[in-house]
Amino acid sequence: MRRVLVIGGGLAGLTAAIEAREAGAEVALLQAGQGVHHLFSGCIDLLAYPQPDGPAVENPLEAIARLAPEHPYAKIGGDAVVRAMVGFQRRVTEHGLTYLGDGRHQYRVLTAMGTLRLTGLTPLTMAVDPAQIDVVCSIGPYRNFSAGLVADGLSRLTKKNVRTLAFEVAQGELDAMGLAAKLAEPAESARFGDFLAREARGLTVAIPALLGLENAEEQKRSIESRFGGVLVEVPGLPPSIPGLRLMHALRRIALDRGVRIAQNVRAVGALDGGGVLRGVKVRVADLEREETADAVVLATGHLVTGGVVSTRGALREPVFDLPLSFPAGESFFRSRFLDRAGHPALSCGVIVDSSLRPLRDQSPVYENLFACGDILGGFDPYRERSGGGVALSTATVAGRLAAGVAR
């Protein structure tokens, strides 16, 4: 059986591992730590702002078809994006997570800042037009959510008077994980439903994204049935419960398919077989060892998770020392922090061919190394709002190619 090694346990790594496994390979996934899905909104962004100065696009797939050739979406093609999207939706549905969206229109999701974000695929718990929201209810107190702030922002956007409510849970001094666990207790959920029945019967109520880690949709339905209205989750600062739900589901799928997941282990170099990789050198704390494989998928993310590292003046891909698409002499960030043009350091990455193989001087560095997700160059996931979509779709392709089947 072909042995595939996936480096990285983020959205891209988990997806690539599952794909490679489904394509028949024996798969091991190594991860140094968790991926940024612990921090993200839970929505899978496809593409919102292709141009720094341009407006938002309302049809992501249509915009994807018009991207410059160096963009990862352009490398794999729009059809691959659609297939990956559908595959993802099907898979996570089996684990109780419904993701809505067809890539042909954007969802607007309210955030804990009281702002709106555009996204392509949204969890069922967030898929409500913000203009419908009547009430913002805090759960807690929770330090990462101010109902007042959210209602204020929403009122400015919708010109509608949005009310606030506060639901106190028994241990209000907890952080997100504890609050979500508390609220997931059947008695607490029921109490919340009854509270809303008194205070907001039949209304659409926005709450911090603190529905349970498991069975969130069931919990949502059961609370809704008590007050006859609609609950909307509002994502905010981490820990991100919606992100964790997704991570748990993907891990579950990978483990059930027989993927071996090794954590706390960092890939640190190539086992070079002359143009092909024999595997990678890995390290646990100070101990080094080797992991061999027939193909390797690089899904190490970007600066935040260490897929790209920096010293004064230089950015580097630390595992294979792959060339990065970063113009020499450019400064890492622009002078304004919240610049709508994004920052040069965040848009650099590994340069790949149409089979997602990293290139040096236009030819593949290793014929059996494939890259996917944030580590790719040619796009800026943060500015464009395309991170989740690129991760899923490039990983789908990379996983299959690594397993030795056609994309």
Partner 1 sequence: MKRFIPEPRRPETLFDPCIKCTICVSACPVAQTTATFPGPKQAGPDAQRFRGRGEPVEGPWINLCSGCYRCQVACPADVPIAEINLFAKQRYAAEKGRDVATELLTHAHWFNPWGQRFHWFATPLLRMKWARWLAEKLFGVDRRAPLPTFARESFRTFARRHESPRAKHKVAYFYGCFTDSNAPEVGRAVVKVLEAAGVEVIFPVQQCCGAALIGAGNFDRARRQDAANLAAFEQALDQGAEAIVVGSPSCALALSHETGEVLGLGHSAVYSRVVDLFTYLHRLDEAGELNLKWKETPLHAAYHEACHLTALGFGAHAPALLRRIPGVQVRVLDAGCCGLAGTYGLKHKTADLARQIGAGVARRVAEWRPDVVLSECEGCRMQIEHLTGVPAKHPAEVLADALVE
Partner 2 sequence: MDRFDAIVIGGGITGCGVARDLALRGVGVLLLEQHDLAHGATGRCHGLLHSGVRYAVKDPIAAQECISENRIVRRIAPHCVELTGGLVIELPGDDPAYYHQLRRGCDEAGIEHRALSPADALELEPNLNPRLTRALSVPDASVDPFLLSQENARAAERHGAIIRTHSAVIDFIRDGAAVTGVRFADDEGEHEARAPVTVLAAGGWGMPLAAKAGVRVGLSLSKGSLVIMNRRFCDRVINRCRLPADADLVIPNGPTSIIGTTSITVASPDGLVIEPRELAVLLAEGAALAPGFATARALRSYAGVRPLFQESGDADGRGITRGFFVLNHATRDGVPGLVSIVGGKLTTYRLMAEKTADQVCELLGRRVAGRTSDTPLREGEPAPFYHRYERLARLATTKPGEMVCECEMVPREAIRAILSELHGRPDLADVQHRTRLGMGPCQGGLCSYRGLALLHDEGLLAGGSPAAVITRFLDQRFGGIAPVLWGDQLREEALNYAFYATLFGLDRGGDA
Ligand X SMILES: Cc1cc2nc3c(=O)[nH]c(=O)nc-3n(C[C@H](O)[C@H](O)[C@H](O)COP(=O)(O)OP(=O)(O)OC[C@H]3O[C@@H](n4cnc5c(N)ncnc54)[C@H](O)[C@@H]3O)c2cc1C
Query: Least distance (Å) from partner 1 to the CB of residue 330?
Result: 23
Nearer to partner 1, 265 or 369 (CB): 265
DSSP-derived secondary structure letter, 367:
T
Question: What minimum distance in Å lies between the beta carbon of 170 and ligand X?
Answer: 30
Residues contacting 149, CB < 8 A, separation 6+ = 112, 113, 114
Measured on CA atoms in the order 91, 45, 38, 306, is the torsion positive or negative? positive
By CB under 8 A, which span of 185-193, 203-211, 260-268, 309-317 interacts with partner 2?
A: 309-317
Task: List the one residue from 55, 186, 258, 313 that touches partner 1 (CB under 8 A).
Answer: 258
Q: Closest distance between partner 1 and the C-beta of residue 271, in Å?
A: 13
Q: Binds 255, which of partner 2, partner 1, ligand X, none (CB < 5 to 8 A, cut-off by type)?
A: partner 1
329: left (phi over 0), alpha (psi -120 to 50) or beta: left
Handedness of CA 79, 80, 85, 86 (dihedral sign): positive
- Residue whose CB is less far from partner 2, 23 or 244: 244
Q: Is the CB of 198 or the CB of 289 nearer to partner 1?
A: 289
Residue 325: HSE in the Cβ half-sphere, 13 Å Cα cutoff: 22
Binding test (CB under 6 A) with ligand X, winner from 4, 5, 6, 12: 12
Question: Per rule CB under 8 A, is residue 268 in the interface with partner 1?
Answer: no
CA nearest to 227, candidates 244, 263, 203: 203
By CB under 8 A, the count of residues binding partner 2 is: 65
Tokens of 375: 């580590």
Check residue 174 for interaction with partner 1 (CB under 8 A).
yes
DSSP code at position 278? E
Count of residues of this chain found to bind partner 1 when the rule CB under 8 A is applied = 47
**Helix ranges (DSSP H) in 229-272:** 241-257
33 binds partner 2, rule: CB under 8 A = no
E-strand ranges in 148-259 read: 163-168, 204-208, 230-234
| Matching residue, tokens 């999207």 | 85
DSSP reduced 3-state for 96? coil
Annotate 105-148 with DSSP letters as a single string. Answer: S-EEEE-TTS-EEEESBEEGGG-S-GGG--EEEEEES-TT--HH
Segment 366-385, which members bind ligand X (CB under 6 A)? 373-374, 381
Edge-to-edge strand order for the sheet containing 287-292? 266-272, 277-284, 287-292
User: Using the rule CB under 8 A, which residue among 15, 31, 89, 144 binds partner 2?
Assistant: 144
Indicate whether 172 belongs to the interface with partner 2 (CB under 8 A).
yes
Interface region with partner 1, contact rule CB under 8 A, candidates 98-106, 150-158, 202-210, 259-267: 259-267
Binding residue for partner 1 (CB under 8 A) from 171, 310, 331, 363? Answer: 171
Residue 235 as a binder of partner 2 (CB under 8 A): the answer is yes
Q: Between 112 and 206, whose beta carbon lies closer to partner 2?
A: 112
* 3-class SS of residue 162: coil
Closest to partner 1 by CB, 14 vs 57, is: 14
With CB under 5 to 8 Å by kind, the binding choice for 19 among partner 2, ligand X, partner 1, none is: none
Q: Is 271 in the site for partner 1 (CB under 8 A)?
A: no
Report the interface residues with ligand X, using CB under 6 A.
Answer: 7-13, 30-37, 39-41, 43-45, 266-267, 299-301, 304-307, 319, 373-374, 381, 387-388, 391
